[in-house]
A and B are shown apart, each in its own frame.
Chain A
């Protein structure tokens, strides 16, 4: 394995995403404004219901984390579908780099652009809606956040492999994994409200446990946590490793299948 080549490939793939996020300031305006509208609607909804103010914090945190989940869906999972549509996929496949390096570059660049959006959403949400958060254990919070990112982007890498051969399925599956995941992963309310079985099954999606753990660290007992934070962190570590390994195997298998079926360059399916 040529480490230098693969590092350059990863950096090269991350570069346009980072530069792209900064090149057009008006995109940042939309990236920041749009999530705030939805967040504001949910916050006013909680106010209409007479909910405890901590619920408004759940909404702001969940709204910020949607940036990463959307990036995983549209910037990772369905990315090879887009690359195929624009004719780039075949160029990637004939180059000598590792496919995992390419995916890692996509993930790094995506994390940056989504991070800008998430951070701005979080800060503006806190300022505008006067949300109070108490960071109980900053190091643990950072650890949970980073491992959650590793796990969800690992999941995105695995999906990218599976979506590589899909046509419009990729677009529709990504659509399908938005609101339904917001629902079962408890983006805007404690996931424990859905019951232990639904919460346990939803924990396969790393952002479920990640959000629950972060809520516990920021809002304490009001977060109504599902599992102890350390347990959730350990499960997230396992999920991160499992998804990355599965992504590697899935990528190899799907590329081989695509070559056999001649679907790697098939557009407009």
Chain B
């Protein structure tokens, strides 16, 4: 299939995703619904920090570490889940998956397109969260000092990796009914725990650190923090201080490619199994 066909699928799927997300209510209400929950989740951590530390100034580095981790983890929670929910929605709720199968498009590109609307929304939430952190909470972040090339590279690879994991989970969703949301949330929860999202991975027991080191999102979060605080000491608390940023970027690239390969295999296998077992148009009243 030509690249132009994929790009057209991507564009229309993104537009469809955006319409499905937003066309049922007024824009301001939609914005509230979209950003209130992730921002509240970040504020829970802020209050926990303030209850113990009494103020941001007592440990600005750890505060920045946690705040940024929580803000950028929204991409994992929203984009990954967005990709997997496509199968559930199109198969069971709208019952359009069989039409997508017979359309001359790539299903994976369609899923990525649908996830793009989540990506846009999440980007807004992250920007608002960080802006709120700087203005209201005193998050010590100097945008002029940010290492933008490193940030851009980390984000491109990180989002690509999140989408790859989302595609794999979408494949698994083909074969499951009610379990799929549990599997997805479980994997999201494991990333939340083991990838150094809220705290340096050195706080985890050794086996937990080993799990964290095997997940590319650990490197992604570390690189995002380092790029936003170049020379700001993030290397010293994250537990990955022995690796330079280019080395971490290489780790992220290699592990993301490995996840992409695994994701492709899982999706193809699940797709074939779902067709064989007649599960493509299964409805389970989830």
Contact = CB atoms under 8 A, between A and B. Distances in A.
Interface of A: 24, 26-27, 30-31, 33-34, 37-38, 40-42, 44-51, 55, 85-86, 167-169, 172-173, 175-176, 178-180, 182-183, 187-190, 193-194, 268-269
A44 B199 contact: yes
Interface in B172-212: 178-179, 182-183, 185-186, 189-190, 192-193, 197-200, 203-204
A98 B196 CA distance: 51
A180 B193 contact: no
B149 to A, nearest CB: 30
B182 A179 contact: no
Contact of B189 (A31, A34, A179, A190): A34
Interface string B13-38: 00000000000110000001100111
B178 A27 contact: yes
30 contacts: A26-B179, A27-B182, A30-B183, A30-B186, A34-B182, A34-B185, A34-B189, A37-B190, A37-B193, A38-B193, A40-B193, A41-B192, A45-B66, A47-B199, A48-B199, A49-B53, A51-B51, A55-B52, A85-B93, A86-B285, A168-B24, A172-B25, A172-B33, A176-B36, A179-B37, A179-B38, A179-B44, A187-B44, A188-B48, A189-B51
B138 to A, nearest CB: 17
Nearest to A172: B33
B24 A269 contact: yes
A49 B193 contact: no
Contacts of B199: 44-45, 47-48
Contact of A27 (B40, B45, B49, B179): B179
B258 interface: no
Given A30-B179, A46-B48, A180-B37, A37 B189 contact: yes
Could you say which of B52, B182, B190, B204 has the most chain A C-beta atoms within 10 Å of its C-beta? B52
B246 to A, nearest CB: 27
A193 B52 CA distance: 10
A44 B198 contact: yes
A103 B90 CA distance: 30
A37 B38 CA distance: 18
User: Sorted from nearest, which 3 A-B pairs have the closest CB atoms?
Assistant: A37-B189, A30-B182, A48-B199
B107 interface: no
B107 to A, nearest CB: 23
Given A86-B285, A193-B50, 15 more contacts: A33-B186, A37-B192, A40-B193, A41-B189, A45-B66, A45-B199, A48-B200, A50-B52, A55-B51, A168-B25, A172-B25, A176-B37, A180-B36, A180-B37, A187-B44
Given A38-B192, A44-B193, A49 B33 contact: no
Contact of A37 (B48, B179, B186): B186
B146 interface: no
A189 B36 contact: no
Nearest to A224: B51
A189 B268 CA distance: 45
